[in-house]
């Protein structure tokens, strides 16, 4: 860092002309503002000390799980903030609440006295709040507020902004982690780049050295061993084992999905039949389905781990990807069946006694699912990590503590976030529940890690994994929930007795009605309605935009291909230049060697 003394600086500010002085002063002011902003962002850093302790002991891989948790926390804080400002506050200020008796069961089921509160869709009014501001004195702070429109636009815009933020972080993370394939192998890369300087505890440093040594020895033995052509019998057996493993995992996934389907049908039939049961037992029986689903989510990955152990993949990264894929399939199927059940049967009324306010019911179901997911995660932490550590150390006598399964825990986070995104339409306060859950989860997981686990012994390619996790968050998770919510807004008939869209055919109609009202009321905004009619409602325009995007993607793919070819050509060129250099140096040495005896003779003669 060259630190110039102020006295011997080459330029002084007075020597510059006036306009350059102004320019430089402006630049300095902007830089000061930028540095102040960076310092402000830095001071906002949540959990800085805790994250440093974790990365000091466990390294970058485990840290990426906690960074992912922090990212999800910020998404939920944003959603909650928007919902509170635009939905909860206007609704609670401008209408009266009824007080119900609070029993303890509400916290678990989300029903009971929570039903008619701002928590759920059913409470929101379907009219413009306080159209007559002159009505009474205590309502004087309310201005006219079109509740259905506000609800529709708040949910729509928060989804849109979440989509943009996700796309941006996905493309940035992809750009950081994508590397053009190298045909030469990565031993040099492993030696130069694999030391994690964040690890500071002595035991962890020793562990890291052991891991590096093991990986290097494994890579060397792989390179030195000639790739043995396996016999046909061996290959057939491998294929049979793989087929068996896939059959078991896919079969169990389908089995779980079917079980959830029949069980949910049975539960809803049970609910409508047993009218003589007390409401408390009825509400407690609503918890049965979430318990079953969470139990499947907990136990099936253990089965998949056992199956993967049986298969014995050569590449450990392959095993991780396959485990993630199977786990993801299970969760997708279960969520798909549940969505079909809620939107399909609950709405069209296959039961005789369908819930009168189905949106509130779906919101409550999602609340219960989130809560059960959280309770089961705590149970899994206690039994999977704490009890297992005691068992493996006392009974099995192993020296090493259990390893933290990063992939499975991140998939749990993604699953919880999918539920929260599905539920925002039906229960605007569900992000609050998710925030509380994430904060508690941070501290529970951190404590459990410190007490029970050790850092992973396999190499964990952190940035590639983060890209995969953000892609999983974007594509199945966010896209799926956006599709479900869009379908609900577009084609499902809202219930007649509650909510902001009581009298309409679809939720989307509220937007159309508003545009038509604008058209009739305000002739100046005709251009706005024209845009709406020909661009938003006309599918041709959207196809056109999609076509252009596809063409741009195609160009980028070709560009990348060309770059790859240029890189290999440049490699060859450098190689050839090295050979040229050696050849020329050899020629030079020859010439010197030939000329030296001549000089020597001349020198002797002289």
Partner 1 sequence: MGSSASQLSKELLSEYQELTFLTKQEILLAHCRFKELLPKESRNTMDYRVPMEKILTMPELKSNPFRQRICYVFSTSEAKDGSLSFEDFLDFLSVFSDSATPEIKSHYAFRIFDFDDDGTLDRNDLVKLVNCLTGDAPETRLSQEEMNQLIGNILEESDIDKDGTVNLSEFQHVISRSPDFVSSFKIVL
> Where along the sequence are the contacts to partner 1 (CB under 8 A)?
1, 3, 5, 31-32, 35, 38-39, 42-43, 52, 60, 176-179, 182, 184-189, 191-198, 200-202, 205-206, 209-210, 212-214, 216-217, 220, 223-224, 461-464, 571, 574-575, 577-579, 581-582
Q: Which is nearer to partner 1, 194 or 285 (CB)?
A: 194
The minimum distance between CB 472 and partner 1, in angstroms, equals: 18
Instruction: Collapse the DSSP code of 454 into the 3-class scheme (helix H, G, I; strand E, B; otherwise coil) and give the result.
Output: strand
User: Do residues 140 and 133 touch, judged by C-beta distance below 8 A?
Assistant: yes
Q: Which is nearer to partner 1, 172 or 269 (CB)?
A: 172
CA angle 564–566–567, rounded 5-degree value: 65
Contacts of 308 (CB under 8 A, 6+ apart): 245, 319, 322, 323
- Give the integer Cα–Cα distance in Å for 317 and 459: 9
The minimum distance between CB 374 and partner 1, in angstroms, equals: 30
The minimum distance between CB 586 and partner 1, in angstroms, equals: 14
The minimum distance between CB 552 and partner 1, in angstroms, equals: 24
Instruction: Give the torsion sign (CA, 303, 309, 314, 320).
Output: positive
Phi, psi of 145 (to 5 degrees): -140, 115
Please report, in angstroms and rounded to a whole number, the separation of the first and last CA atoms in the chain.
Answer: 57
Residue 129, beta-bridge partner list: 145
Rg (C-alpha) for the chain, rounded Å, is: 32
- Give the integer Cα–Cα distance in Å for 258 and 382: 29
Q: Which is nearer to partner 1, 194 or 317 (CB)?
A: 194
Q: Which is nearer to partner 1, 40 or 527 (CB)?
A: 40
Q: Which is nearer to partner 1, 131 or 575 (CB)?
A: 575
Length of the chain: 606
- Give the integer Cα–Cα distance in Å for 507 and 491: 8
Q: Which is nearer to partner 1, 565 or 595 (CB)?
A: 565
Q: Which is nearer to partner 1, 60 or 249 (CB)?
A: 60
Contacts of 170 (CB under 8 A, 6+ apart): 467, 470, 471, 474
Q: Tokens at residue 202, please?
A: 């002595």
The minimum distance between CB 584 and partner 1, in angstroms, equals: 13
Cα–Cα nearest to 54, from 444, 455, 462, 457? 455
The minimum distance between CB 46 and partner 1, in angstroms, equals: 14
Q: Which is nearer to partner 1, 2 or 99 (CB)?
A: 2
Contacts of 175 (CB under 8 A, 6+ apart): none
Q: Which is nearer to partner 1, 212 or 529 (CB)?
A: 212
The minimum distance between CB 74 and partner 1, in angstroms, equals: 17
Q: Which is nearer to partner 1, 533 or 581 (CB)?
A: 581
The minimum distance between CB 448 and partner 1, in angstroms, equals: 23
CA 117 to chain centre: 30
Instruction: Collapse the DSSP code of 129 into the 3-class scheme (helix H, G, I; strand E, B; otherwise coil) and give the result.
Output: strand
The minimum distance between CB 191 and partner 1, in angstroms, equals: 6
- Would you tell me how many other CB atoms lie within 10 Å of the CB of residue 492? 17
Q: Which is nearer to partner 1, 211 or 360 (CB)?
A: 211
The minimum distance between CB 203 and partner 1, in angstroms, equals: 9
- Give the integer Cα–Cα distance in Å for 148 and 347: 20
The minimum distance between CB 322 and partner 1, in angstroms, equals: 22
- Give the integer Cα–Cα distance in Å for 286 and 267: 8
């Amino acid at each position: 860092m060259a630190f110039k003394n102020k006295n011997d600086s080459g330029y002084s500010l007075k020597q510059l002309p006036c306009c350059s002085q102004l320019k430089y002063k402006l630049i300095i002011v902007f830089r000061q503002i930028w540095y102040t902003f960076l310092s402000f962002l830095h001071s906002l850093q949540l959990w800085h000390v805790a994250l440093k302790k974790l990365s000091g002991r466990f390294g970058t891989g485990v840290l990426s799980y906690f960074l992912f948790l922090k990212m999800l926390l910020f998404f939920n804080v944003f959603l909650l903030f928007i919902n509170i400002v635009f939905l909860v506050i206007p609704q609670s200020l401008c209408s009266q609440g009824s007080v119900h008796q609070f029993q303890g069961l509400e916290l678990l089921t989300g029903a009971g006295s929570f039903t008619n509160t701002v928590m759920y869709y059913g409470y929101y009014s379907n009219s413009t709040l306080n159209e007559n501001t002159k009505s009474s004195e205590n309502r004087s702070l309310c201005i006219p507020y079109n509740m259905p429109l506000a609800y529709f636009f708040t949910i729509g815009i928060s989804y849109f902004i979440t989509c943009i933020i996700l796309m941006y972080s996905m493309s940035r993370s992809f750009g950081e982690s994508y590397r053009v394939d190298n045909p030469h192998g990565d031993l040099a890369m492993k030696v130069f780049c694999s030391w994690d300087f964040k690890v500071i505890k002595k035991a962890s440093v020793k562990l890291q050295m052991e891991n590096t040594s093991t990986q290097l020895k494994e890579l060397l033995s792989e390179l030195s061993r000639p790739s043995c052509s396996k016999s046909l019998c061996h290959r057939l057996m491998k294929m049979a084992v793989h087929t068996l493993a896939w059959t078991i995992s896919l079969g169990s996934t389908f089995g779980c999905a079917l079980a959830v389907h029949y069980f949910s049908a049975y539960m809803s039939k049970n609910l409508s039949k047993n009218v003589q049961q007390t409401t408390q037992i009825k509400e407690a029986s609503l918890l049965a389905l979430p318990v079953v689903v969470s139990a499947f989510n907990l136990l099936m990955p253990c089965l998949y781990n056992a199956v993967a152990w049986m298969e014995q993949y050569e590449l450990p990264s392959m095993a991780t990807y396959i485990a993630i894929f199977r786990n993801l399939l299970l969760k997708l199927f279960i969520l798909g069946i549940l969505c079909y059940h809620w939107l399909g049967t609950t709405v069209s009324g296959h039961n005789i006694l369908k819930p009168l306010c189905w949106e509130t019911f779906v919101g409550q179901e999602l609340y219960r699912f989130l809560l059960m997911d959280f309770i089961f995660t705590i149970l899994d932490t206690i039994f999977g990590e704490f009890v297992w550590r005691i068992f493996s150390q006392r009974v099995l006598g192993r020296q090493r503590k259990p390893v933290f399964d990063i992939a499975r825990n991140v998939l749990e986070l993604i699953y919880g976030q999918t539920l929260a995104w599905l539920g925002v339409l039906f229960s605007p306060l569900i992000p609050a529940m998710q925030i509380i859950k994430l904060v508690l989860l941070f501290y529970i997981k951190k404590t459990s890690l410190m007490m029970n686990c050790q850092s992973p012994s396999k190499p964990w390619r952190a940035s590639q994994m983060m890209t995969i996790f953000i892609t999983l968050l974007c594509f199945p998770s966010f896209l799926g929930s956006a599709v479900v919510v869009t379908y609900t807004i577009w084609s499902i008939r809202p219930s007649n007795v509650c909510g902001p869209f009581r009298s309409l055919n679809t939720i989307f109609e509220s937007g159309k009605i508003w545009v038509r009202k604008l058209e009739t009321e305000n002739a100046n905004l005709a251009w706005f309605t024209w845009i709406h009619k020909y661009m938003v409602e006309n599918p041709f325009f959207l196809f056109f935009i999609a076509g252009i995007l596809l063409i741009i993607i195609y160009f980028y793919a070709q560009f990348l291909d060309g770059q790859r070819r240029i890189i290999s050509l440049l490699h060859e060129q450098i190689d050839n230049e090295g050979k040229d250099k050696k050849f020329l140096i050899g020629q030079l040495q020859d010439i010197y060697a030939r000329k030296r005896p001549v000089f020597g003779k001349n020198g002797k003669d002289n």
